[in-house]
Structures are given as C-alpha cells and as structure tokens.
C-alpha cells in the first residue's frame, strides 16, 4: 500500500478511521436516494460537523485542528469512496475558503474562516463563467469601485454549493485592460442585494452536489471584502488555490477508483458463469490487475503532490496537475471496467458501480479539464528543461 511508501501520521490515521466510520454509517446508506432525488447532503453535513470533519480542513488559529493539507487529502479520499457527490459538496467549501487562506488579510482570515472550521457556515468558489471556462482570462464579470464599495456585474457558471453556501469567493475584473493582471477576488455574502442564483442544474452525476449560476446585478460589496485588500492580484490567488485544491480532487478520484475496484473484485469472486467464478477468467484478472495498479499509482502521485504543497516546492503546479489528471483518468477508466465486470447488472441502479461511472466523469472536467492539466504538465516540463541547459 502507498502508506508504506509515504506514511500517514498517527493523527492522520485516526482521522481516516473516523471518517471511514462516518462514511460507512451516514453516507453509503443514503447515497442512492440523494442521487435519485438530486438532494443536497445537508443532514450528512450535520454529522460531519459533529465528527469535527470540517475543522480538520482548517488551521488551529482559525478554530481548526491544524492538521495541514494532508487532512484534506485523507478526507477527500474517504468521502469520495462513499459518494463523490457528497465529497464534492464537502470540498467546495474548502475550495471557496482557499483564496482567503492564501491571499486574505489577517483580519479577513479571522472574520471568515472560524465559521467554516466549526461547520456553522459553508462557502463556495466562483471563477468559471458561461464564456470563460478553461479560458479564465476571458472573464467578463466586473467590479467597479464606488466610494467604500465595489459594484459587481456578471454571471458565474457551474458553481458547486451555489444557493447553499453562506458566502462566495468571486473573481471579477477590476481592470479589463490588464487581462489576468486585472482580476480581483471578492467575498460576497449570500443575501447581498443584487446577488441571485440560477436554476439547479440537472446533472449526469454528483447529483447531490448542488450546482447553479451566481448572478450579480449591480451588487454592492464592501471594499473590505476585497481579498488581500489589493486590487488585480486575484488571478494569483486563483492559481495558488487550484494548485492546493487539485491534490484533493485527485484524492477524491482515488477514493472513487478504490470503491469501484473493491466492488468489482468482490463481485468477480461471487458471480459464476460456465460453472466457475468469473474471477478465475484471466481476462477478468487482468482487468482487476490494471485497475489496482492505476489506483495505487494515482494515490502515490496524489501523496507526492501533497508533500510538495506542504514543502512549498516550486514543482507543485506540475505535480498537482499530474496527480489530478492521472487520478481523474484512472477513476473514469476503473469505473468503466467495474461496470464491465458487473456485466448487465452493472448497467442498473441495483449496484453502486452505475453511479460511480456517472460520477467519475466530472473528475476529468472540473478544476481544469484533463486537457488543461496536460497543458500545465507540458508547460512545466518545457520550463524545467529550459532551465537545465
Ligand atoms: C458539476 C460542475 C461543478 C463545477 N464547480 C465549479 C465551481 O465550484 N467553481 C468554479 O469556478 N467552476 C466550477 N466548475 C467549472 C469547471 O471548472 C469548468 O467546467 C471547466 O474548467 C471547463 O470549462 P468549460 O466547461 O467552460 O469547458 P471549455 O473550457 O469550453 O472546454 C471545452 C473542451 O475544450 C477543451 N479545451 C479548452 N481549452 C483548451 C486548450 N487550451 N487546450 C486543449 N483543450 C482545450 C477542454 O478540455 C474541453 O474538452 C464546475 C463544473 C461542473 C460541470
């Protein structure tokens, strides 16, 4: 196991055990129903809050457990093992908090993070727009200074937790002429006048993670909510956020891949055809071997990226993209093979692999598609090679 290569601390192992229990008792029994009803996992979040899982995501001075990034990785894998929809909804709050953690003033951190650490509030991350997905510099949302406020206008697309979150970190242009150097990040509270939400998206997978548009129409936000108190550095906060959150998305992919593999091997050991267990067919064995290898490799890349993040290494952007891309592609491939091993039964809602197959696809799309991750990896490789000469 990966733990032999990169070990978890005693505290991290305890968190893993605790989370595994909560997922087994509170998530797995209801995941099918939440998926069917497209229902946000509010009740589950109350259990996560009681178990202290939100606090494991934050530093001690803001009311968290101070366990660092590895805690997010452990939780992401364990929760996604049970349900990627619940995992996405949970992680969305950390994603929304990261711009404040990496770029906020001490006052902003003290004001906004403790309620997230206690689980009393959740937040969300608003970067993508209808015409600016992979192409972040094409952002059109604007923020114009007016006295001691900024006036926001524009629309954000596909925001996880939208409508449910209490506040949002929102990226907007404060200087259109400067492109990415003209982007700033703002904290916007849910009930601010001029701020509303689009319809709940009816998605292929992760159906319990609510996704909506954020709509800003002359929405007045206090200037003190400008993250870091400085204009035009929002893109940098966004990049730092994604470098730190992609290992957690990779960990979610590892969790889903592991769950699909576990379900497939168990089924292969039980299902009989031609008078023998299907696990005795070499064709099935080779699929299982490939699935296990890929999940294990994805976990190792995830742990490596996490360690580089903890060390503040300059190689983080490439490692983070490698982990996210490989783990996402692995989750999709492993979930597909799991359905194959279940045969016709895998194509129905009677078994969980059908949902895993639908859920896995999003991992190759959000927080940068697999194509964008490959662009990032190639850019890192070319830069490294140039500096070696
Ligand atoms: C369920 C869900 C939840 C999400 N949650 C959030 C959230 O909480 N916050 C948030 O800000 N965003 C969120 N997103 C947005 C997500 O990050 C974007 O969908 C993603 O970055 C891709 O953007 P796009 O959908 O506009 O696709 P596009 O950018 O239009 O891409 C379309 C296709 O073109 C490819 N492509 C684009 N540019 C290139 C290129 N330069 N080289 C090679 N291929 C390219 C892409 O890989 C893709 O295959 C979410 C999306 C979904 C579906």
- The H-assigned helical ranges of the chain are 2-5, 10-22, 31-37, 42-50, 69-82, 84-103, 106-117, 234-270, 282-311, 316-342, 353-360, 370-388
Q: What is the mean pLDDT of residues 239-254?
A: 97
Question: pLDDT tens digits, residue range 189-228?
Answer: 999 999 999 999 999 999 999 999 999 999 999 999 999 9
Ligand 1 geometric centre to CA of 366 (Å):
6
pLDDT at residue 387 in the model: 79
pLDDT at residue 213 in the model: 98
pLDDT at residue 5 in the model: 64
Q: What is the mean pLDDT of residues 316-335?
A: 97
Sequence-ordered list of residues with C-beta below 8 angstroms from that of 242, at least 6 positions apart, any chain: 320, 367, 368
Ligand 1 atom nearest residue 201's Cα: 1
How does residue 35 score in pLDDT terms, banded at 50, 70 and 90? very high
What residue has token string 């003033």? 105
Mutate-to-test residue for ligand 1 from 133, 137, 361, highest number of ligand atoms within 8 A of CB:
133
For residues 75 and 56, the answer to whether their CB atoms sit within 8 Å is: yes
Question: pLDDT tens digits, residue range 336-348?
Answer: 999 999 999 999 9
pLDDT at residue 386 in the model: 86
Q: What percent of the chain has pLDDT over 70?
A: 98
| Domains detected in the chain | 2-117 (1.10.540.10), 123-235 (2.40.110.10), 236-388 (1.20.140.10)
The pTM assigned to this predicted structure is 0.97
Report which of 116, 111, 122 is spatially closest to residue 88, judged by C-alpha positions. Answer: 122
Ligand 1 geometric centre to CA of 187 (Å):
22
- Catalytic residue among 129, 296, 367, 376, which? 367
Question: pLDDT tens digits, residue range 88-147?
Answer: 999 999 999 999 999 999 999 999 999 999 999 999 999 999 999 999 999 999 999 999
Ligand 1 geometric centre to CA of 133 (Å):
5
For residues 185 and 216, the answer to whether their CB atoms sit within 8 Å is: no
Using a 6 Å CB cutoff, which residues line ligand 1?
92, 124-128, 133-134, 158-160, 203, 211, 362, 365-369, 371-372, 375
pLDDT at residue 260 in the model: 98
Q: What is the 3-state secondary structure (H, E, C) of 93-128?
A: HHHHHHHHHHHCCHHHHHHHHHHHHCCCCCEEEECC
Report which of 233, 257, 268, 249 is spatially closest to residue 346, judged by C-alpha positions. Answer: 268
Active site residue 367: yes
How does residue 86 score in pLDDT terms, banded at 50, 70 and 90? very high
Ligand 1 geometric centre to CA of 69 (Å):
25
Report which of 166, 47, 157 is spatially closest to residue 116, judged by C-alpha positions. Answer: 166
pLDDT at residue 389 in the model: 62
């Amino acid at each position: 196991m990966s733990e032999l290569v990169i070990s978890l601390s005693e505290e991290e192992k305890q968190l893993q055990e605790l989370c595994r229990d909560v997922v087994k008792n509170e998530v797995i029994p209801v995941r099918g129903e939440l998926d069917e009803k497209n229902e946000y996992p509010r009740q589950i979040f109350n259990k996560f809050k009681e178990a202290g899982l939100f606090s494991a995501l934050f530093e001690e001075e803001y009311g968290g457990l101070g366990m660092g990034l590895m805690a997010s990785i452990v939780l992401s894998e364990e929760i996604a093992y049970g349900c990627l929809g619940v995992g996405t909804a949970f992680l969305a709050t950390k994603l929304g908090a990261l711009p404040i953690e990496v770029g906020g003033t001490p006052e902003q951190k003290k004001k906004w993070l403790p309620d997230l650490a206690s689980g009393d509030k959740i937040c969300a991350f608003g970067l993508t727009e209808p015409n600016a997905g992979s192409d972040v510099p094409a952002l059109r949302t604007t923020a114009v200074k007016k006295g001691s406020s900024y006036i926001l206008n524009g629309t954000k697309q596909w925001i996880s937790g939208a409508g449910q979150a209490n506040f949002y970190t929102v990226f907007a242009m404060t200087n259109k002429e400067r492109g990415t150097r003209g982007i700033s990040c703002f904290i916007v509270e849910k009930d601010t006048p001029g701020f509303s939400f689009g319809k709940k998206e009816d998605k292929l997978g992760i159906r319990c993670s609510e996704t909506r548009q954020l709509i800003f129409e002359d929405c007045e936000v206090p200037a003190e909510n400008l993250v870091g108190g400085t204009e035009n550095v929002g893109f940098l906060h966004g990049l730092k956020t994604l470098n730190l959150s992609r290992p957690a998305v990779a960990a979610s992919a590892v969790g889903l891949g592991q769950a699909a593999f576990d379900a497939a091997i168990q089924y292969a050991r039980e299902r009989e055809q031609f008078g023998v267990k299907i696990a005795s067919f070499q064709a099935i064995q080779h699929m299982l071997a490939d699935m296990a290898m890929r999940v294990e490799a994805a976990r190792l890349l995830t742990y490596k990226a996490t360690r580089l993040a903890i060390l503040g290494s300059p190689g983080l952007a490439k490692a983070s993209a490698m982990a996210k891309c490989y783990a996402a592609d692995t989750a999709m491939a492993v979930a597909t093979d799991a359905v194959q091993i279940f045969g016709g039964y895998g194509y129905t809602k009677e078994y969980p692999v059908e949902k895993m197959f639908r859920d896995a696809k999003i991992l190759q799309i959000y927080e940068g598609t697999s194509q964008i991750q490959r662009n990032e990896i190639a850019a890192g490789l070319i830069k490294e090679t140039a500096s070696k000469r």
